[in-house]
């Protein structure tokens, strides 16, 4: 029942811009996408958790479920673009990433189905509380090591599967890429360096986002015009972010504090808007 109202609302939005004119909302979608792509490339996650609030409160999407579906698609595509940039720099551990992503896709599919059945009045406050928890976690997390691991070790597969499935379920439920959980999960399960975890995490972020977006697309809960604009900005921001990621990998404490502050501010605003 939810899919049909969402389709009617999205159709009206497209009719308003059918003449091809560029609106302020279009510009905000591009700028927001650029910011999300930049943060995603820099820390392997985090930017994705800002996508839904940006679509709701900056771009002006009125349907929370459509915003979640649209952000999931945009994050998936942007993560894939950033993955290519990190792979060129040798930061991606493909076998670890593939196992983590495969387990996570199963969890993401289940989480997305549950998220669509959850009332937006409940979903958004839960999302805000998750953001607060993420901010606290990032402040408490120690910076990763600089030692790159050279090879795949089969005895770590069990931990990867368990962690991937759990992170995927959370990702699908809230419509987020989950990179803020994938990076420490990869580091904890494999002892890879932080820069390797950042690059490798983008494989899972892309897969989780695509799984979630597919579920929402079937239900008619994606605004394709906004998604395209958001993705365009995100690709540009991601190219810039990936350029600096390797240089900043040894100074990640500062980035963590800055991002945590942004997360706290956005979470507070979401709680204010959803509970008033």
For residue 54, give both structure tokens: 């940006």
Q: What is the mean pLDDT of residues 253-269?
A: 74
Round to whole Å and give the CA distance between 195 and 255: 14
pLDDT of residue 231 exceeding 90, the answer is yes
Supply 71's token pair: 């952000």
Token pair listed for 15: 């009719």
d(Cα 104, Cα 88) in Å, to the nearest integer? 24
Report the alpha-carbon distance of residue 179 to residue 51 in Å, rounded. 13
pLDDT digits (tens, 9 = 90+) for 45-90: 767 678 888 999 899 998 888 998 999 899 899 889 888 888 888 8
pLDDT of 141 reads 60
Q: Between 49 and 14, whose confidence is greater? A: 49
The contacts of residue 103 (CB under 8 Å, 6+ apart) are 160, 161, 162, 163, 164, 165, 168
- Of the candidates 151, 162, 137, 166, which has an alpha carbon nearest to the alpha carbon of residue 260? 137
For residues 29 and 229, is the Cβ–Cβ distance under 8 A? yes
Task: Please compute the mean of the pLDDT values over residues 245-251 and round it to a whole number.
Answer: 64
Look at residue 167 and tell me whether its pLDDT is greater than 90: no
What does the CA dihedral 267, 203, 108, 271 come to, rounded to 10 degrees? 0
Mark out the alpha helices in 47-156 (DSSP H runs). Answer: 51-54, 64-88, 94-116, 120-140
Structure tokens at 39: 């943060």
Task: Read off the pLDDT band of 217 (50, 70, 90).
Answer: very high
Q: What is the pLDDT of residue 142?
A: 59
Q: What is the pLDDT of residues 119-159, one digit of tens each?
A: 767 777 888 888 788 778 767 765 544 566 767 888 889 98
Q: 123: helix, coil or strand?
A: helix
Could you tell me which residue, 104 or 143, shows the higher pLDDT? 104
d(CA 159, CA 30): 38
Neighbours of 125 (CB within 10 A): 16
Angle between helices 252-275 and 24-43 (to 10 degrees): 140
């Amino acid at each position: 029942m939810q899919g049909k109202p969402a389709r009617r609302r999205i159709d009206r939005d497209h009719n308003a811009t059918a003449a091809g004119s560029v609106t302020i909302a279009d510009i905000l979608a591009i700028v927001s996408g650029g910011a999300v792509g930049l943060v995603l490339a820099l820390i392997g996650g985090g930017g994705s958790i800002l996508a839904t609030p940006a679509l709701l409160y900056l771009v002006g999407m009125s349907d929370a479920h459509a915003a979640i579906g649209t952000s999931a698609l945009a994050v998936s595509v942007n993560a894939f673009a950033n993955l290519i940039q990190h792979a060129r720099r040798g930061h991606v551990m493909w076998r670890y990433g593939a196992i983590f992503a495969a387990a996570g896709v199963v969890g993401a599919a289940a989480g997305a189905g549950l998220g669509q059945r959850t009332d937006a009045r409940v979903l958004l406050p839960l999302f805000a509380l998750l953001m607060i928890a993420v901010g606290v976690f990032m402040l408490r997390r120690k910076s990763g090591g600089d030692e790159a691991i050279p090879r795949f070790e089969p005895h770590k597969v069990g931990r990867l599967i368990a962690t991937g499935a759990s992170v995927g379920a959370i990702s699908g439920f809230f419509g987020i890429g989950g990179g803020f959980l994938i990076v420490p999960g990869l580091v904890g399960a494999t002892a890879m360096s932080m820069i390797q975890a950042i690059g490798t995490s983008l494989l899972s972020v892309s897969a989780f986002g695509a799984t979630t977006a597919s579920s929402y697309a079937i239900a008619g809960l994606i605004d394709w015009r906004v998604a395209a604009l958001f993705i365009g900005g995100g690709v540009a921001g991601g190219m810039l972010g990936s350029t600096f990621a390797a240089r900043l990998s040894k100074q990640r404490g500062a980035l963590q504090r800055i991002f945590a502050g942004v997360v706290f501010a956005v979470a507070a605003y979401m709680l204010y808007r959803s509970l008033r």
